[in-house]
Chains A and B, each alone.
Chain A
Amino acid sequence: MFIMIEPTSSVPIYEQLTRQIIEGIVKGEIKVGDTLPSVRAMAADLGVNMHTVNKSYKALAEKGVVTIKAKSGAVVCAGDALNEQQLLYLQQALKPVLAEGIVLGATEQQLENMLQQLLRELTTKEAML
């Protein structure tokens, strides 16, 4: 699977990496049990600091997407059943985006369509960019 990083984007690189790995898992391009490249290798390949990759892997571990094991590195895990806390976190993450949409005048229907479309996009295997 390819990761495409835009160094000039306003989204920080560690955030881009995190998002794309999550998308890769959703699309089935990264499977449960797969090991992500080592922090050093990943940093070299991306041409960034090891700290950046570390930050991203830690964020993935916090979200419960990977488990960091001492010897084998970051392993993609099956994720337990979604708990209340995670659901709450997702809700809070969505809130400002929806608020922005409403301020800009998007209708409820438009926002719903958008959500449906995104869900379809993510669950079918298509190129990311």
Chain B
Amino acid sequence: MIIAIFLFIYVVTTGVQAFLPSVVKSTTAFGVTFPPQQSQHVVLTQAKKNYSKFVCLLSFIGIIVIFVLATVVFQWHEEQVVIMIIVVMLFVQIVAVSIYMYFHKKINRTKQQENWFGQVKQVRVVDLTARQRDAMLPTHFYLVLFLFPVVLFLYLMRHYALLPDAIPIHFNFEGKADQFLHKNYSSVLALPFFLLMQLWVTFGMFYGLKRSAIVGLVNAKEASITAQLRLRKYMSYYFFVLAMSFILLVSYMGLALVHHTLAKPTYVMAIFMGFAFINTLTTIALFSIKKRCRMLYEQDIVSNLADVDDDQYWWLGFVYCNRKDSSVFLEKRLGLGWTLNLGNTWSYILVVLPVILMIVMGILIGVLN
């Protein structure tokens, strides 16, 4: 059984790895920007095909090798096979990344040699009406949510006498608490603080996205801006649902501390399952929306306009850092969705800081316990 699970993980991760370069922004390949006029260039099409083929083949060979070693040569038991699967998976990932780097360098070289951007005019397109058409949820929708951790904290403080001496902070699969904190004012603070940080991150992602650029593809202006606006709208709904589900979960846990009848393992199970269910469902929904809202060039481009080449701000084609750009998020080059602008202070305030605080809190709780 456990082998089957790990084999499944293996197939999914290597599969994603193999086809990731096909799911990219339509003006980049292996982290290199190219003008849309070059999209049929033999270097690009060959690279994509060869990369996917090679990674698929490698992962297939990996499975065969594990199978032969495990059954014919060594007669391993379950644990050893699982470890082997993990090792081979890591190996495939490393090889895939090095092939990615190889093609990144190769395409870049061809781009420089043939001076792809010398033959076109680089243009950045902005729609003046885009901000009016932007249908993201208003900011106060999110700001109101910050009342919840405050109210929760006040509520717990008010009923301090009713709280159990050992405050549960971790639950096992049967819904029973298996880790506790001693009751004192700081441990009572932990729950509202955790909620506050979660809300901070979700608000940060929402607000960061709201402040980020709405920019179109030059040769598909209307379609690309419409796609982006639609994606922004659904992302803001997604963050809101995410924040609400966290509030429900944490509020339940807070209430269960005061009203002990609520703390039955079956309830805990139901609440956690519900939370996981809502999150999985909305994430799947978001993924399919993202896929439909991709900005693509569908036909061959006849104009001499190209989107701006911003390769200089991308480290190896997937880490973005541009101090002059006031956007917090921008379209990823590899895969679907957005990536952080590491050159912008707001990225740290909105997203990185709360994540660090949460990790610090986790460590502190571990140490204090």
Contact = CB atoms under 8 A, between A and B. Distances in A.
Given A36-B128, A47-B124, A2 B221 contact: yes
B128 A44 contact: no
B262 interface: no
B101 interface: no
B131 A8 contact: no
Nearest to B305: A129
A43 interface: yes
B125 A38 contact: no
A106 interface: no
Interface string B335-363: 00000000000000000000000000000
B325 A47 contact: yes
Nearest to A6: B123
B122 A1 contact: no
Interface residues of B, number: 26
Interface in A3-49: 3-8, 24, 30, 36-38, 40-49
A11 to B, nearest CB: 13
Contacts of A43: 326
Contacts of A129: 123, 305
A40 B326 CA distance: 8
Contact of A46 (B126, B211, B305, B322): B126
B121 interface: yes
Contact of B213 (A8, A24, A30, A44): A44
Q: Which of B127, B128, B322 has the most CB of A within 10 A?
A: B128
B291 to A, nearest CB: 24
A125 B327 CA distance: 32
A41 B132 CA distance: 11
A45 B215 contact: yes
A40 B211 contact: yes
Contacts of A61: none
Contact of B128 (A3, A8, A47): A3
Contacts of A46: 124, 126, 213
B218 interface: yes
Contacts of B215: 45, 47
Interface in B120-163: 121-131
B126 A48 contact: no
B212 interface: yes
Contacts of A3: 125-128
A77 interface: no
For the complex of A and B, the 4 pairs showing the least CB-CB separation, nearest first, are: A45-B126, A3-B126, A37-B131, A1-B128
Given A37-B131, A49-B324, A129-B305, 19 more contacts: A1-B127, A2-B127, A2-B128, A2-B216, A3-B125, A4-B124, A5-B123, A7-B308, A30-B128, A37-B130, A38-B131, A40-B326, A44-B211, A44-B326, A44-B327, A46-B126, A47-B124, A47-B308, A47-B324
